[in-house]
A = this chain, B = another copy of it.
Amino acid sequence: MANNAVFAEVASLAGDPGRAGMLHALMDGRALTATELARVAGITPQTASGHLARLTVGGLVAVEKQGRHRYHRLASPAVARMLESIMQVAADTAPPRKAFVGPRDQALRAARTCYDHLAGNLGVALADALVTRGHIELTSDAGIVTDTGTALFDTLGIDLDATGKRKGRMLCRPCLDWSERRPHLAGSVGAALCKHCMSEGWIKHVDGSRAVAITVKGQRKFREVFGIGSVG
C-alpha cells in the first residue's frame, strides 16, 4: 500500500532530533527564519537548510520569501494537531523527570502558546475557570460554549463568529496539556481567546520561544474577568 509509505515518511520527518527541535519552535504559530531555527535546534544553518527543504517538500512546513529572508511556518493546523498529539504520547512515555527543570522549561510550563491557543499552567487555569463558572462544558472529546459563555465573550469583544463558521451552538475542542496533563481550551474558541489576550496586551511572547509572559495588565484582567490569581 503506497499510502503506508507516505505515512512513514511524514512520521520520520518529525522523528529526527534536529527537525523535531525546529518543528517544536514553530509550534507557537509564528514564522521563523532558517537561521533562527538552526539556532534553537542546535545545528548549523546549512544542516537546517537541508532539513527545512525536506520538511517543505514533505508538506509539514510552508515557506514564504521576504527579501533575503525566508520565513518558515507550519503548513497547516493539521500539522500542528499532529505535533500536539505526538507530544501527548511523548509526555505519557516520558520518564518521571521531577528534578532538572531548567528555567526555560519552567517558563514553558507556566504559560505558552500551542500553535494558536494557550497552554501550560495559564491555559489550564483559564479552561478551569471557564468550566467552573459555567461558561463552557468540556469532556475529553469535545466542548461547548454555553449561553453565559457566549455572553461573556461578547462583552469582552471576542468575535467567535469570525473564527469558526458559527451555526447555532458554538463548539470547541479540548487539548490535553502535556505539562499539566489536564485539558486546556483549543479549537477556534481557544484561538480567539488567545488572540484577544495577545492583542489586548495581557500576555506577550518571551524572546523567541513559545513561552509567554503575563503582563501586569494581564494579571489584573485575569483576576477580574476569570478570577485567576497568580499563575506560573
When distances are taken between beta carbons in the complex, the residues of chain B under 8 Å from A91 are: 6
> CB within 8 A of A15: which of B8, B76, B141?
B8
Using an 8 Å CB-CB cutoff, how does the interface string of A79-103 with B read, 1 for contact, 0 for none? 1011011111111111001001010
Beta-carbon contact of A142 and B172 below 8 Å: yes
Task: Please provide the chain A residues from 131 to 178 with a CB less than 8 Å away from any CB of chain B in the complex.
Answer: 137-144, 164-165, 167-169, 171-173, 176
Question: Across the interface, do A11 and B7 meet the contact criterion of CB distance under 8 Å?
Answer: no
Complex CA–CA separation, A83 to B14 (angstroms):
13
If the complex has contacts A58-B93, A173-B141, are A17 and B5 also in contact, measured as CB distance less than 8 A?
yes
- Compute how far the CA of A143 lies from the CA of B142 in the bound complex, rounded to whole angstroms: 6
Residue of B nearest to A60 (CB): B89
A21 at the B interface (CB under 8 A): yes
Q: Which of B5, B13, B93, B102 contacts A6 (CB 8 A)?
A: B93
Within 8 Å of chain B (Cβ to Cβ): is A64? no
State whether B4 touches A21 (Cβ < 8 A).
Answer: yes
Is there contact, CB below 8 Å, between B97 and A2? yes
Q: Report the Cα distance A9→B168, complex, angstroms.
A: 43
Distance in angstroms from A207 CB to nearest chain B CB is 15
> Number of A residues whose C-beta is below 8 Å from B?
66
Interface membership of A187, Cβ < 8 A: yes
Q: Taking the nearest CB of chain B, how far is it from the CB of A60, in angstroms?
A: 7
Q: Quick one: given A8-B16, A87-B7, are A141 and B188 in contact (CB under 8 Å)? A: yes
Residue among A2, A102, A167 with most chain B CB within 10 A: A2
* B105 & A10 in contact (Cβ 8 Å cutoff): no
CA distance A167 to B131 in the complex (A): 13
B-chain residues with CB within 8 Å of residue A12 when the two chains form the complex: 11-12, 14-16
Give the CA-CA distance A14 to B12 in the complex, in Å.
7
A10 and B90 within 8 A (CB): yes
A residues 99-149 in Cβ contact with B at 8 Å:
100, 102, 104-105, 137-144
Say yes or no for A78: interface residue by CB 8 A criterion. yes
A-B residue pairs, 4 tightest by C-beta = A12-B15, A142-B142, A141-B187, A59-B93
